[in-house]
Amino acid sequence: MPSIEDILRSIHDAVVAYDEEGVKKAAELYIDEGHDALRGITDGLAAGMATVGDLFKAQEYYVPEVLLCAEAMQAGLDILTPHLRAEDSKSRGRVVLGTIQGDIHDIGKNIVKLMLEISGFTVYDLGTNVPYQAFVDELVRTEAELVGISAMMTTTMMGMKKVIQLVREARPEVGILIGGAPVSREIVKMFKADGFALAASDVVDEVKRVLALHTA
Amino acid sequence: MSKQLLIDALKGKRTSRAPWLPYAGINSAFLTNETAENYLKSPDLIAKGVENAAKRYRADGIPLIFDLSVEANAIGCELRWWADNVPSVVSHPCSRMESPGKLGLKVPTRESGRWPVVLEAGRLLKPGLDALDCAMVGLCCGPLTLASHMAGVRIFTDVYKNKDFAREVLEFAGEVNASSAQYYAEMGCEVIGLSIP
């Protein structure tokens, strides 16, 4: 009988290999063996995506591989999530997410959403081409603690300054993350956001860091 | 400004200096105080804008337009227009894994979509660029990009998971590219490129 570590390793490796059937098989075995679903998600699936993020940063994986891995991970989530205990399903925080007005790119945003959800965050996804004010309205409606704004183009990225201003006025206690191809640390500083993640796999740590800043 | 310099460089010959080919694109609209939408819908504004940009930047070559939505629009994809950017393709007919053949999609003609605007813009622009010794560059939307317009982002995983479907979409996109290249050649473009993959 394989050990729990062996099965978690199988889940991890299958995610990295974008082996959807392999993930399903390992996840089913994991549940059949009576193991804790949350650990399967964090130490199997999310750990696999973290490795995928490292491969992406090392330019060994590109967007298509990341998408395939995300699909494999989703297959595992579909099996493990129904077995989460009620206390494990409790949200670690609420995040409003969207691609900014004028921009319809969403691959990165969707991967970020997946990473946050598997890490226990509740995500309110506004989709793409989100009007500036809509970010604020959703923050007020959901009482979310953090907003993530995505842009793929330098032209649409400029709108982030306006959203940040509106958010600071309406809910100054909210953490603000920005992201997307044109975004850098210099842009974060210039726009006075709170943070950003170079790869989707880094977003969970960055969200935790920013939330800690705002609750300190 | 020297179109021959650009042509020589593209053929791998050593040149006296690096040729200068600014992808002015929608920047040409900005330089002439036009919105992107008005600009891209008008052959006169395109011709005026590109010639102005070629002079201002002292270009050896310059794209007629840098807009990857032309082919998708000519196939029948819907566009969302912006004031300060090229249009976005917002409908993807093959996104439910129906092949171009099954959907009855046709390779665009010179009358399809915005091709009449582009062809007329090329006709108006060519004499001015020739006078500036500046090459006119035709940019076709590359087959993988066009396939992503047709099928949505799923094409990036379909090339692995649903190879036959992806192949059909990409082959059709290639045929569309060939027609675009033909139209740009007929316009007199000295350089024709695929942008991007």
**Which B residues 40-99 touch A at CB under 8 Å?**
80, 82, 84-85, 88, 90
Mutate to test the interface with A, among B35, B85, B170 (most CBs of A within 10 A): B85
Determine the 3-state secondary structure of A99 from DSSP: strand
The reply to whether residue A63 touches residue B161, judged by beta carbons under 8 angstroms, is: no
- Taking contacts as CB-CB distances below 8 angstroms, the residues of chain A near B161 are 68
Class in CATH terms, B3-189: alpha beta
pTM: 0.82
- Render pLDDT for A84-101 as a digit per residue (tens, 0 to 9): 887 776 788 999 999 999
Q: What is the DSSP string of B1-52?
A: --HHHHHHHHTT---SS-------TTHHHHHTT--HHHHHT-HHHHHHHHHH
- Which CATH architecture does the domain made up of A91-215 adopt? 3-Layer(aba) Sandwich (3.40)
Whole-number Å distance between alpha carbons of B117 and B76? 16
Which residue among A67, A68, A104 places its CB closest to the CB of B88?
Answer: A104
Name the token pair of B54.
């070629």
- Render pLDDT for A16-50 as a digit per residue (tens, 0 to 9): 999 999 999 999 999 999 999 989 999 999 999 98
- pLDDT for A114 equals 87
The reply to whether residue A64 touches residue B157, judged by beta carbons under 8 angstroms, is: yes
* Residue ranges of chain A that CATH labels 3.40.50.280: 91-215
Q: Which amino acid, one-letter code, is at B72?
A: A
Mutate to test the interface with B, among A19, A155, A156, A158 (most CBs of B within 10 A): A155
The reply to whether residue A71 touches residue B157, judged by beta carbons under 8 angstroms, is: yes
B175 at A interface, C-beta within 8 A: no
Reference A112, options A80, A147, A81; nearest CA is: A147
Return the minimum-mean-pLDDT range out of A66-75, A87-96, A202-211: A87-96
- pLDDT for A200 equals 74
CA distance A71 to chain B (A): 9
Count contacts between A and B (CB, < 8 Å): 25
The reply to whether residue A64 touches residue B85, judged by beta carbons under 8 angstroms, is: no
Whole-number Å distance between alpha carbons of A19 and B16? 53
- Render pLDDT for B53-77 as a digit per residue (tens, 0 to 9): 999 999 999 999 999 999 999 999 9
- pLDDT for B56 equals 97
Rg of chain A over Cα atoms, rounded to whole angstroms, equals 18
- pLDDT for B82 equals 87
- Taking contacts as CB-CB distances below 8 angstroms, the residues of chain A near B157 are 64, 67-68, 71
Per the CB < 8 A criterion, the answer to whether A18 and A70 are in contact is no
A158 at B interface, C-beta within 8 A: no
- Render pLDDT for B83-123 as a digit per residue (tens, 0 to 9): 888 998 999 999 999 999 999 999 999 999 999 999 999 99
- Taking contacts as CB-CB distances below 8 angstroms, the residues of chain B near A107 are 153
- pLDDT for A176 equals 97
- Render pLDDT for A103-159 as a digit per residue (tens, 0 to 9): 888 888 988 998 898 888 999 999 998 999 999 999 999 999 999 999 988 888 999
The reply to whether residue B153 touches residue A107, judged by beta carbons under 8 angstroms, is: yes
Whole-number Å distance between alpha carbons of B143 and B145? 5
Q: Taking all residues of chain B, what is their mean pLDDT, rounded to a whole number?
A: 95
Per the CB < 8 A criterion, the answer to whether B146 and B180 are in contact is no
The reply to whether residue B156 touches residue A71, judged by beta carbons under 8 angstroms, is: no
* CA distances to A55, B53, B74 from B63, in Å: 36, 10, 19
Q: Which residues, 6 or more positions from A186, have their beta carbon under 8 angstroms from its beta carbon? A: none
Class in CATH terms, A4-88: mainly alpha
Q: Which amino acid, one-letter code, is at A17?
A: A
The reply to whether residue B157 touches residue A153, judged by beta carbons under 8 angstroms, is: no
CA distance B54 to chain A (A): 23
Q: Kindly tell me if the per-residue pLDDT of B25 is higher than 80.
A: yes
* CA distances to B2, B58, B126, B129, B144 from B132, in Å: 8, 9, 10, 5, 34
Per the CB < 8 A criterion, the answer to whether A128 and A108 are in contact is no
**pLDDT-based confidence at A216, cuts 50/70/90?**
low
All structural domains of chain B with their residue ranges: 3-189
Q: Kindly tell me if the per-residue pLDDT of A83 is higher than 80.
A: yes
Which residue among A68, A104, A155 places its CB closest to the CB of B160?
Answer: A68
Mean pLDDT of the region B185-194? 96
